[in-house]
């Protein structure tokens, strides 16, 4: 049997054994008392990980895109003004999604590799009529990181809801939802949370929930309607079974394990580990002569890195050689630059050992493309930064 390659893409990531064992365990009824306890604990732990003790957590069977859909469907009504801050493909998705629910969407779109122009945001919110402003914390297509604290601050000053796409950031990048005034933060299970694909996860502030409860129109999406799901989440929080649609029982069992592991590591320690991984990876790539897609170091993500191919390197040859060395990387995703760059995921349970193996595989890929560099220079740079 061929040796399995280690997956170092920005989701799905590598998962811990205990999490995978939960997925493979016999499936219980969603009204079984043991499962009720599991679900209730998972919801409580979400508040801890999101740092949102006053927030309302939701767990739906689906992807991160479903979480985005649920937030849009419930917080947007026809005619609402929405300001989208886009730093890549996933920011652009908001424009299409919100428009389908009748919103008047304005986009402050950044050039590829650059973060948000906050002066433009201030100007737009000061002159326009908006109900909601949204940003992607880490856009997986560019590896650009946005400051969610500034998002919450500007939203509060202009009395609009702040929505954060945390798909590639929750449990990897620092988020203090309550303290920073973020009204909805959503993610997907297969990223830094550390559970295989299948769960849409989000936490909603009391302010956003009150805005939802005061809607003038019915939510035009049956499955996503919080009126259906809120009583379910509240019931499990109170130790009672409830039903609207069958929950992903095994995934939720795995989620509890993953959230426990995050709590045991400690959020601050986890954020610091991801910061060191991100800096070490970027340092290694730079030492190998590669340019990083994010133009400003302070706006580069800690959960993934994106680098331009050097002149003359062929994407197919590079990625195939990296895989032959035992590592799977992601090619480019942004349609304007897709053949010109690649992406490295380093989140969740990833540690320095996995990162060093990845850098070694990248060196092999560059060799296969005929790119000249000093052997081992990337590995040495990563080690120097991670353990400094």
| Segment 219-262, tens digit of pLDDT | 999 999 999 999 999 999 999 999 999 999 999 999 999 999 99
On the question of a cis peptide bond just before residue 99, with omega within 30 degrees of 0, the verdict is: no
Residue 123 has pLDDT above 80, yes or no: yes
Domain 17-265: give its CATH architecture: 3-Layer(aba) Sandwich (3.40)
Name the residue among 234, 179, 173, 182 with its Cα closest to residue 204.
Answer: 182
Per-chain mean pLDDT for the chain: 97
Q: Taking the CA atoms of the chain, what radius of gyration do you get in angstroms?
A: 21
Phi/psi of residue 153, nearest 5 degrees: -65, -50
Tokens found for residue 81:
């003004």
Question: In this structure, what DSSP letter does residue 173 have?
Answer: B
CA dihedral 168, 342, 69, 126 (to 10 degrees): 80
Residue 1 has pLDDT above 60, yes or no: no
The structure tokens 């609207």 sit at 244
The structure tokens 């052997």 sit at 375
Task: Provide CATH 3.90.1150.10 ranges for the chain.
Answer: 267-386
284 neighbors 381 (Cβ within 8 angstroms) = yes
Exposed, middle or buried, 251 (CB in 10 Å: 0-12/13-18/19+)? buried
| Segment 16-30, tens digit of pLDDT | 999 999 999 999 999
Angstrom distance (rounded) from CA 153 to CA 163:
12
Name the more confident of 273 and 3.
Answer: 273
| Segment 324-366, tens digit of pLDDT | 999 999 999 999 999 999 999 999 999 999 999 999 999 999 9
Return the H-helix or E-strand segment holding 308: strand 304-308
The structure tokens 């009529």 sit at 129
Please give the angle made by the CA atoms of 50, 59 and 272, to the nearest 5 degrees: 25
Angstrom distance (rounded) from CA 119 to CA 316:
40
Instruction: Note the CATH number of domain 267-386.
Output: 3.90.1150.10
**Count of CB atoms within 10 A of residue 339's CB?**
11
Angstrom distance (rounded) from CA 63 to CA 187:
9
What is the arithmetic mean of pLDDT over 48-61? 98
Angstrom distance (rounded) from CA 360 to CA 281:
11
351 neighbors 30 (Cβ within 8 angstroms) = no
Task: Provide CATH 3.40.640.10 ranges for the chain.
Answer: 17-265
Query: Would you state the pLDDT for residue 4?
Result: 87
Can you say whether residue 198 is alpha, beta or left, with left for phi > 0 and alpha for psi between -120 and 50 degrees? Answer: left
State how beta strands 132-136 and 161-165 pair: parallel
Angstrom distance (rounded) from CA 78 to CA 106:
14
Residue 39 has pLDDT above 80, yes or no: yes
Angstrom distance (rounded) from CA 95 to CA 34:
42
The overall pTM is greater than 0.85 = yes
Residue 301 has pLDDT above 60, yes or no: yes
Exposure string of 5-28, with b = 16+ CB inside 10 Å and e = fewer, is ebbbbbbbbbbbeebeebbeeeee
What SS3 state is found at 164? strand
Residue 71 has pLDDT above 90, yes or no: yes
Residue 3 has pLDDT above 80, yes or no: no
Query: Would you state the pLDDT for residue 341?
Result: 98
Tokens found for residue 193:
């949370």
What SS3 state is found at 332? coil
Residue 314 has pLDDT above 70, yes or no: yes
Query: Would you state the pLDDT for residue 2?
Result: 52
Tokens found for residue 164:
């954060």
Tokens found for residue 345:
């995921």
| Segment 84-119, tens digit of pLDDT | 999 999 999 999 999 999 999 999 999 999 999 999
What SS3 state is found at 349? coil
Residue 122 has pLDDT above 90, yes or no: yes
Residue 192 has pLDDT above 80, yes or no: yes
């Amino acid at each position: 049997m061929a040796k399995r390659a280690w997956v170092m893409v920005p989701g799905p990531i590598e998962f811990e054994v205990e999490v995978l064992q939960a997925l493979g365990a016999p499936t219980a009824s969603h009204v079984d008392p043991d499962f009720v306890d599991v679900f209730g604990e998972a919801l409580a732990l979400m508040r801890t990980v999101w740092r949102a003790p006053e927030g309302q957590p939701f767990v739906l069977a689906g992807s991160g895109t479903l979480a985005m859909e649920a937030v849009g469907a419930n917080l947007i009504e026809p005619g609402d003004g929405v300001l989208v801050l886009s730093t890549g493909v996933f920011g652009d998705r908001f424009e299409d999604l919100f428009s389908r629910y009748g919103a008047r969407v304005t986009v402050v779109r950044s050039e590829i590799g650059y973060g948000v122009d906050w002066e433009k945001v201030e100007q737009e919110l000061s002159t326009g009529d908006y109900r909601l402003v949204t940003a992607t914390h880490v856009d997986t297509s560019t590896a650009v990181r946005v400051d969610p604290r500034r998002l919450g601050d500007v939203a509060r000053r202009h009395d609009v809801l702040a929505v954060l796409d945390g798909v590639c950031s929750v449990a990897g990048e620092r988020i203090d939802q309550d303290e920073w005034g973020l009204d909805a933060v959503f993610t997907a299970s297969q990223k830094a949370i550390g559970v295989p694909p299948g769960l849409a996860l989000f936490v909603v502030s009391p302010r956003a929930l009150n805005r939802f409860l005061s809607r003038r129109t019915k939510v035009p999406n049956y499955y996503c309607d919080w009126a259906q799901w809120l009583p379910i989440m509240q019931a499990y929080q109170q130790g009672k079974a409830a039903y609207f649609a069958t929950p992903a029982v095994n995934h939720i069992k795995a989620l509890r394990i993953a959230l426990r592991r995050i709590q045991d590591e400690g959020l601050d320690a986890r954020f610091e580990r991801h910061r060191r991984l991100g800096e070490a990876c970027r340092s290694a790539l730079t030492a190998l002569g590669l340019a990083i897609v994010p133009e400003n170091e302070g706006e580069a993500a800690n959960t993934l890195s994106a680098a331009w191919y050097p002149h003359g390197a062929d994407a197919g040859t590079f990625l195939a050689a990296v895989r032959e060395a035992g590592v799977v990387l992601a090619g480019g995703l942004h349609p304007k630059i897709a053949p010109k760059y690649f992406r490295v995921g380093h989140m969740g349970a990833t540690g320095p050992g996995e990162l060093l193996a990845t850098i070694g595989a990248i060196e092999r890929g560059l060799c296969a493309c005929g790119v000249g560099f000093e052997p081992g220079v990337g590995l040495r740079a990563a080690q120097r930064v991670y353990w400094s």
